[in-house]
Amino acid sequence: MKEDVDLLDQRDLDNYAFPLSSRLSRAWAEPPDSVWVGKKHSRVSTAAVASVVATDRPSVSDDWVEVRTTASTETSAYKQQIRDQLSGVEQLPDGPVAVEISFLVGPRRNWLNLWKPSIDALEALLGRTTPTSQWHPRDGRIVALGLHRRVDETLGNDVRLAIASAPRPDAPLSSR
């Protein structure tokens, strides 16, 4: 991306990860279990595919919060349930951040469709773009995003999310 583009304001990473992951899902006949994306100023964009390595904790932070949703992503109730469970969580300081979300889903859930509404509900962590704009977090400031899926046969349509986040002061970006 060009040096004059403010990467902390726009260029939401999920908007790049979703079409690539959707295409891989069609080619592989199932979605990937883990997707990592990052952004920085560069003349070249890259993508890599690798095997998943299980870990016991998120990579971006030792602190994480777990939430559970029962609503359909087609309704605002899905986002509301996440936001309600994040009330009281401290907002990350201004600047670049890393976010990692692990989704535990039933076998029928298309977890790729959970990304956008889940990130839209992270206003408590990321802040809101404008006070009157509901479901518009400052997600452009996510410079490293990890999304993971595990399947639990007993979960049905419920979704459990483990969310970790941390400031990324080492990111070579600046907000205008």
Average pLDDT of the segment spanning 6-24 = 84
pTM over cut 0.85: yes
- In this prediction, residue 156 carries a pLDDT of 92
Better pLDDT: 102 or 47: 102
Better pLDDT: 173 or 165: 165
Find the range with the poorest average confidence among 2-6, 87-91, 120-124: 2-6
- In this prediction, residue 3 carries a pLDDT of 66
Query: Does residue 172 surpass a pLDDT of 60?
Result: no
Find the range with the poorest average confidence among 58-62, 94-98, 125-129: 58-62
- In this prediction, residue 155 carries a pLDDT of 93
- In this prediction, residue 54 carries a pLDDT of 64
- In this prediction, residue 93 carries a pLDDT of 95
Per-residue pLDDT tens over the stretch 45-91:
777 766 676 665 556 666 789 999 999 999 999 999 999 999 999 99
State which amino acid sits at residue 84.
Answer: D
Query: Does residue 104 surpass a pLDDT of 90?
Result: yes
- Three-class DSSP labels, 40-96: CCCCCCCCCCCCCCCCCCCCCCCCEEEEEECCCCCCHHHHHHHHHHHCCCCCCCCCC
How large a percentage of the chain has pLDDT more than 70? 87
Better pLDDT: 174 or 85: 85
How many angstroms separate the CA atoms of 148 and 128, rounded?
A: 25
How many angstroms separate the CA atoms of 168 and 95, rounded?
A: 7
- In this prediction, residue 53 carries a pLDDT of 67
Nearest in space to 1 (alpha carbons), one of 11, 9, 15: 11
